[in-house]
Amino acid sequence: MNDNGYVLRVENLDVQYHTDAGTVYANSQVSFNLKPGERLGLVGESGSGKSTLALAILGMIKPPGRIGGGEIWLENTDLVKLPEEAIRQVRGRQVSMIPQGAMNSLNPVARIKDQLIDGMIDHELGLSRSEMNRMVREALEAVELDPQVAQMYPHELSGGMKQRACIAIAIAMNPKVIIADEPTSALDVVTQRQVMQTIGHLQAQLGSAVILIGHDMGLMAQFVDRIAVMYAGKLVELGSVKDTFTHPMHPYTQMLISSLPRLENKGTFNGIPGITPLLREIPTDCVFNSRCPQAIPICMQRVPKLLEHRPNQWAACHLYQSEEN
């Protein structure tokens, strides 16, 4: 925990990808914080910058990507300033990620046990063989996998089991922050729920903070304490699940929530009209203005700041900041 009582504090983070086709401003001025043991859901449509944010926190932004500015404090260390060598010691041990499409990130020619042990060796923890075996057993047990899975190769496992194995790898070293990037999107609904429950139990046991990334706000709401909504590279709303669902502030959040399938309309999904901006420029106005049914003139002129408009409920929207200059 740092002096403010947060395990993670992201401050004005900018991440860009510099490609031949131009620059993509994938994260602009992203700020939020996380308390120890807290579960934060990060939602937003595809291309809004969620995975970029996760990779930045793990020190894994690679060319053509670049962190253009900002701070990422893990307890009392600013990861943005840390050299690659030092970041490698943090990754896996202090923060770890269950990557998007994790099931396919397993090495097909290595036993699950060896993939778990690789992470421990990388960190030069100086563990004995029997200590490593114990950690392997405990990690598999924690994700409700049979100890025999240690001896198996990925192709011998079902999708749900592979996903659990990836979670076991991510938690083996008891990190303070676990980032799960769409951990269940490739699984069927029943397995999704089971895997989410496993993450929930683990989180409670380990006391790690979790950032759960997804686009299914309904599923997410059952597993997190707070929700952060991302749109076109910016955080547009941040608040408790209850506040976000009962009185969403940002028009984009309002539309996301009203588009959730409900029993009354028999599961039909109302899409949100319009297209997402391509993130080709540093925003100088509200990124949502072209799709916003409530836009007012200032929305075309200025970037709204993410501000706390109600206790613990933050929104980046001019509708609430008329007196702000």
Ligand X SMILES: Nc1ncnc2c1ncn2[C@@H]1O[C@H](COP(=O)(O)OP(=O)(O)O)[C@@H](O)[C@H]1O
**Does 250 engage in binding with ligand X (CB under 6 A)?**
no
Name the segment binding ligand X (CB under 6 A); options: 30-38, 39-47, 256-264, 294-302.
39-47
CB closest to Mg ion, residue no: 51
At closest approach, how far in Å is the CB of 22 from ligand X? 10
- Selection from Mg ion, ligand X, none that 65 binds (CB < 5 to 8 A by kind) is ligand X
- Selection from Mg ion, ligand X, none that 151 binds (CB < 5 to 8 A by kind) is none
**Does 27 engage in binding with Mg ion (CB under 5 A)?**
no
Q: Of 7, 8, 13, 26, which one interacts with ligand X (CB under 6 A)?
A: 26
**Does 214 engage in binding with ligand X (CB under 6 A)?**
no
Per-residue x/- mask for ligand X, residues 271 to 310, rule CB under 6 A?
A: --------x-------------------------------
Name the segment binding ligand X (CB under 6 A); options: 17-25, 106-114, 291-299, 307-315.
17-25
**Does 128 engage in binding with ligand X (CB under 6 A)?**
no
Q: Is the dihedral of CA 294, 300, 303, 305 positive or negative?
A: negative
What is the C-alpha R_g of the chain?
A: 20
Query: Collapsing DSSP states into helix, strand and coil, what is residue 220?
Result: helix
Q: Of 10, 32, 44, 203, which one interacts with ligand X (CB under 6 A)?
A: 44
Q: What is the dihedral of CA 215, 15, 4, 323, to 10 degrees?
A: -80
Count of residues interacting with ligand X (CB under 6 A): 15
Whether residue 113 contacts residue 138, with contact meaning beta carbons closer than 8 Å, is answered with: no
**Does 184 engage in binding with Mg ion (CB under 5 A)?**
no
Query: Rounded distance, CA 221 to CA 287, Å?
Result: 25
Those residues with Cβ within 8 angstroms of residue 47's Cβ, 6 or more apart along the chain or in another chain: 276, 279
Run of H or E including 54? helix 50-57
Q: Is 278 left (phi over 0), alpha (psi -120 to 50) or beta?
A: alpha
Q: Of 19, 151, 270, 294, which one interacts with ligand X (CB under 6 A)?
A: 19
* Binding residues among 53-112 for Mg ion as defined by CB under 5 A: 100
Whether residue 196 contacts residue 215, with contact meaning beta carbons closer than 8 Å, is answered with: no
Length of the chain: 325
**Does 76 engage in binding with ligand X (CB under 6 A)?**
no
Q: Is 174 left (phi over 0), alpha (psi -120 to 50) or beta?
A: left
At closest approach, how far in Å is the CB of 26 from ligand X? 4
Q: Is the dihedral of CA 213, 219, 250, 241 positive or negative?
A: negative
Query: Rounded distance, CA 271 to CA 162, Å?
Result: 32
**Does 51 engage in binding with Mg ion (CB under 5 A)?**
yes
Run of H or E including 19? strand 8-19
88 or 215: CB nearest ligand X:
215
Query: Rounded distance, CA 192 to CA 183, Å?
Result: 8
50 or 113: CB nearest ligand X:
50
**Does 169 engage in binding with ligand X (CB under 6 A)?**
no
Interface residues toward Mg ion, by CB under 5 A: 51, 100
Interface residues toward ligand X, by CB under 6 A: 17, 19, 24, 26, 44, 46-52, 64-65, 279
